[in-house]
Amino acid sequence: MNESNRQRKVSQIIQEDFAELFRKQSSESNQNFLVTVSDVKVTADLSIAKIYLSIFPQEFRKPIMKEIEENKSQYRNFLGQKMAKQVRIIPELQFYLDTTLDDVEKIEKELRGEGDNPVL
């Protein structure tokens, strides 16, 4: 099913707002990690936003995802302040870990012959 222009627009706003927020959080942190918003999908009724995150390095994934889940209501409030003028309802947030870049890296290693099973 195709996304409406409205869904795309809301997804884009959410992606930009969270990209900025996570960039700020990682620069204020004394640890060296990167959280990128790789994709945002919003349901047709705009009630749920599925936010896909890439987190590097890998050892930070579990603690960062745990922290994000624990602070979901603050993230929704943040979004509410940013989007109050554009939408009637602030979508419920669902965060997912996006590991597609891991798969790409694994495939590239295999192709270079660095994987466990070198390509013949």
Please tell me whether residue 58 adopts helix, strand or coil conformation. helix
Could you tell me the CATH number of the domain that includes residue 54?
3.30.300.20
Question: Among residues 95, 102, 48, 90, which one has the least CA distance to residue 67?
Answer: 95
Cα 98 from Cα 104, distance rounded (Å): 12
Q: What tens-digit pLDDT sequence spans the chain (120 residues)?
A: 577 999 999 999 999 999 999 999 988 988 889 999 999 999 999 999 999 999 999 899 999 999 999 999 999 999 999 998 888 889 999 999 998 877 777 788 888 887 655 555
pTM: 0.83
Cα torsion 12, 17, 20, 26 to 10°: value is: -110
Residue 88 lies in a domain: yes
Count the domains in the chain: 1
Residue 73 lies in a domain: yes
